[in-house]
């Protein structure tokens, strides 16, 4: 948890600084793509804030009001990221890009200066900031991808598509998607700004802004959909749940499973409940021992299982 928090804090500081530099580039050149990227980085910064809040609340101890803890806080705050941040930022970016397409205007020729370098074209700020953003997001993407790859190997998933449908680790899911979109957005902005400056046609810059906005809105919809399934109480995927059922059915003294349910109550935190018909000849002490052994076996088989409630039926 501490390492996750430090990574998020580092990303928060970096994204905040990048947002300021992108906005400076917009002020110097009036680039629509740079304004869209400013919205994008502001969204990323807000995203890190919400993730930090989610991590903080998710780590709180269980209480009488919340007997299973606060793990779902991360699902909730990740959902807020999609709706409040990326949805709004995506809409504003797309709207600004559309307006720039409908009402094109030549880019401003702003100047910037540094004590050592002296005066230079403001568009250079755009190039440097966007290239820096691509490098930073590339590093962050690698870290998120390493974690997602680890989960894919651990669970035996076929690839990213299955992982996106089944993972309960919304922090990694959000980071991986966010970093991918961030790299793509910075690349599109860099390409659009360069083409507009080279050809003198502001359309390329405006189209880049529109594309960035559409990507952000698409990400908002996808992230909201993924968090919806977890907020509503999704169960363990059927193929993995089947393994737990088979373990119980094959246990000595178990006749059949009357009822079996699983549900996520936090990232990588699974609750299992089962009504199990036991052999009528078992003594009370033997029943208690069997239930304890089954509970331990379920936790060993599936590391995500944190709580198990088995109701014996003789």
Q: What SS3 state is found at 259?
A: strand
| pLDDT, position 261 | 92
DSSP, residue by residue, 85-142: IIHHHHHHHHHHHHHHHHS--PPP--EEEETTTEEEETHHHHHHHHHHHHHHHHHHHH
Residue of 227, 211, 205 lying closest to 82 (CA atoms): 227
| pLDDT, position 271 | 92
Residue of 38, 27, 9 lying closest to 108 (CA atoms): 27
Strands 305-313, 118-121: pairing kind: unpaired
Residue 236 gets which letter from DSSP? P
Residue 26 CB-density burial (10 A; 0-12 exposed, 13-18 middle, 19+ buried):
buried
Let me know how long the chain is.
314
The Cα 279–Cα 312 span in angstroms is 10
φ and ψ at residue 252, rounded to 5 degrees: -65, 125
Taking CA atoms, 185 is separated from 180, 226, 238, 268, in Å, by 9, 22, 36, 30
| Model pLDDT for residues 166-210, shown as the tens digit of each residue | 788 777 777 788 788 888 888 998 998 889 888 888 888 889 989
Residue of 142, 141, 208 lying closest to 177 (CA atoms): 141
Mean pLDDT, the chain, whole residue set: 82
Query: Domain coordinates of the chain in residue numbers?
Result: 1-232, 238-312
The Cα 274–Cα 296 span in angstroms is 14
Question: To 5 degrees, how large is the angle CA 79–CA 84–CA 86?
Answer: 85
CATH architecture of 238-312: 2-Layer Sandwich (3.30)
Residue owning tokens 């959902």: 79
Other C-beta atoms within 10 Å of 290: how many? Answer: 20
Fold of 1-232: Alpha-lytic protease prodomain-like (1.20.1510)
| Model pLDDT for residues 51-68, shown as the tens digit of each residue | 788 878 777 777 778 778
| pLDDT, position 275 | 92
| pLDDT, position 2 | 47
Whether pTM > 0.85 for this model: the answer is no
């Amino acid at each position: 948890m501490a390492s996750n928090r430090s990574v998020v804090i580092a990303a928060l500081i970096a994204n905040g600084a990048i947002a300021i530099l992108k906005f400076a580039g917009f002020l110097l050149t009036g680039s629509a793509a740079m304004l869209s990227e400013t919205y994008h980085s502001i969204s990323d910064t807000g995203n890190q804030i919400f993730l930090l809040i989610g991590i903080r609340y998710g780590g709180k101890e269980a209480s009488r009001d919340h007997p299973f803890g606060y793990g779902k806080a991360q699902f909730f705050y990740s959902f807020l990221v999609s709706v409040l941040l990326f949805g709004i930022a995506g809409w504003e970016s797309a709207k600004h890009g559309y307006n720039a397409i409908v009402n094109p205007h030549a880019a401003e020729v702003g100047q910037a200066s540094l004590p050592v370098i002296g005066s230079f074209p403001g568009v250079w700020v755009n190039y440097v900031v966007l290239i820096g953003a691509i490098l930073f997001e590339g590093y962050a993407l690698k870290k998120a991808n390493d974690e997602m790859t680890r989960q894919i190997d651990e669970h035996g998933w076929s690839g990213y598509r299955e992982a996106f449908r089944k993972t309960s680790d919304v922090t990694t899911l959000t980071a991986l998607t966010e970093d991918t979109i961030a790299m793509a957005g910075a690349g599109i902005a860099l390409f659009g700004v360069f083409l507009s400056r080279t050809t003198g046609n502001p359309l390329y810059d405006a189209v880049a802004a529109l594309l960035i906005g559409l990507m952000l809105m698409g990400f908002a919809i996808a992230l909201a959909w993924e968090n919806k399934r977890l907020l509503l109480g999704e169960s363990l995927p059927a193929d993995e749940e089947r393994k737990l059922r088979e373990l119980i059915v094959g246990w000595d003294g178990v006749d059949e499973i009357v009822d079996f349910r699983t549900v996520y109550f936090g990232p990588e935190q699974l609750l299992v409940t089962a009504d199990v018909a036991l052999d009528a000849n078992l003594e009370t002490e033997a029943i208690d021992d069997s239930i304890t052994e089954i509970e331990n076996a379920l936790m060993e088989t599936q590391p995500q299982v944190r709580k198990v409630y088995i109701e014996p039926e003789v």
